[in-house]
Amino acid sequence: MEDDIRKARKWGVLLDTSILSTYIAGIYESNTRHKVLEKIESEEDIYPILSATLPTFKTYITPHVLAETQGILTKELGKDTAKKIICFATKYIIQMKEHQIGNKPILLHEKMEEFGVIDIALHLTSRIHGRYLITKDHDLATLTKGRVLPIESLRAYYLQYFCS
């Protein structure tokens, strides 16, 4: 765990869609008390972990992830609520750095058909820029190989340094 965290702090972390969705919906919920996390969070509640730990990393996103995040929030919560969440979380999102990647390397990637645009964009961005991907998607983590910061490591970091 210590080695994962040390490397991720040095190189920065790249957020996948489920992580960004949880993070910004959690920010909105904790500030407005409107219950939205339970409607998008299918697994355990990781917002407290993200809220405490993400500010300790250089954080990156891609435009693909931001667009998919808005799509997921719209699908799960409705257009108006999704807009409110994105607008409310704008000050947090713009603090994150952004990586652009062209469509040609994504579309021509040998695993494009299997993984799709978003996952290939994340995989290539992680490889090109050396970022550590935070994801709950096991298949994406396997594709990205050693450049993944597992949720388990993030949870252990949170418990050790933020809950003592």
Angle at alpha carbon of residue 143, lines to 134 and 59, rounded to 5°: 25
The CATH code of the domain that includes 72 is 3.40.50.1010
> Does pLDDT of 72 surpass 70?
yes
Q: Select from 114, 19, 89, 25 the least CA-distant residue to 61.
A: 19
How, if at all, do strands 97-98 and 59-61 pair? parallel
What's the domain count of the chain? 1
User: Sorting pLDDT into bands at 50, 70 and 90, what band is 44?
Assistant: low
Task: Check residue 136 and give its pLDDT.
Answer: 87
Domain of residue 156 covers 2-162
What would the two tokens of residue 161 be?
């340094």
Q: Which residue has the higher pLDDT, 43 or 53?
A: 53
Q: What is the average pLDDT across 101-128?
A: 95
Whole-model pTM: value is 0.91
Entry field: residues in the chain: 164
